Amino acid sequence: MKPDRNPQLHMIWPIGKPLASEELEAPVGYSIRTYLPGDEGNFLRLTIEGEFDRFDWGKLQFNVAKVIPDGWFFATRADTHAVCGTAMCLHNYAGDTPFTGDVSWVVCSRTDRGHGLGACLTARVTRRFMDAGYSRIQLHTEYYRLAAIKTYLKIGYIPVIGSSALRSLWQETCERLDWPFTQDLWQEAIQDQQAHAGTTWKSAASADSQASDP
Ligand SMILES: CC(C)(COP(=O)(O)OP(=O)(O)OC[C@H]1O[C@@H](n2cnc3c(N)ncnc32)[C@H](O)[C@@H]1OP(=O)(O)O)[C@@H](O)C(=O)NCCC(=O)NCCS
């Protein structure tokens, strides 16, 4: 059973930051492709492995309606072509900057973890948003999804910390991951990004309240 604790963690990509090309390469033994008809079943199976809140057909349709073209990725095993991972680029205008993209539903099969597939899928989604000109690329996750959080930090996503509760949660999470807690640097990057996009964001608390899982 999932631990019950809020709020969700919010991370953004520092716009203008380059994406390391090696992150985009599929790990040895795997390939990455975009959506093919029939992948809905593969996706639903993976959402169970990801322990996401239950997906039904309606929730799938809600998400599919927001995927950008060529923005739904699937990892496959090179030998069998079996689907073993996925991630989505979801367009998610939330009231302030129009070109907001959410990295969503990053997951791989339990048997295929530990090879860097999560990083590769996240990098592909990030690259797709960059190529499409998105001015805010972000994601939400839960504090207990440590493999995902480490993946996002390693690629270059930075935490958005808008409350003391989030500060404590991030401090604790960084300790668990043995990752430096550099709130001042993260804040500077966020301010640069706001200046770049020419927007001031709604408070992180308000963004949190609109977040969907994950
Ligand atoms: C997120 C996910 C795709 C990552 O899978 P993966 O690419 O195989 O990632 P790994 O298992 O290699 O873990 C990534 C890193 O986290 C570390 N890690 C994993 N579990 C950890 C834990 N419990 N505590 C600390 N570190 C952990 C790994 O050691 C690895 O670190 P490294 O890159 O320095 O070696 C996979 O864990 C998954 O499908 N999780 C369930 C769904 C989910 O949580 N999705 C995120 C939704 S926001």
Element (H, E) at 177: helix 164-177
Which residues lie closer than 8 Å to 141 by C-beta, 6 or more apart?
8, 9, 11, 148, 149, 152, 214
For residue 101 and ligand 1, the question of a CB distance below 6 A is answered with: no
Atom of ligand 1 nearest to the CA of 104: 48
Expressed in angstroms and rounded, the spacing between residue 200 Cα and the centre of ligand 1 is 32
Å from CA of 140 to ligand 1 middle:
15
Quick one: tokens of 122?
Answer: 């996240």
Average pLDDT over residues 1-27: 84
List, in order of start, the domains of the chain with CATH numbers.
9-210 (3.40.630.30)
Q: What DSSP string runs through 44-89?
A: HHHHHHTTPSPP-HHHHHHHHTTEEEEEEEEEEETTT--EEEEEEE
How do residues 168-211 score in pLDDT, each as one tens digit? 999 999 999 999 999 999 999 988 877 766 665 554 434 433 33
Ligand 1 centroid to residue 197 C-alpha, Å: 31
Q: Copy the structure tokens of residue 119.
A: 């990083």
Half-sphere exposure of 92 (CA within 13 A, CB side): 21
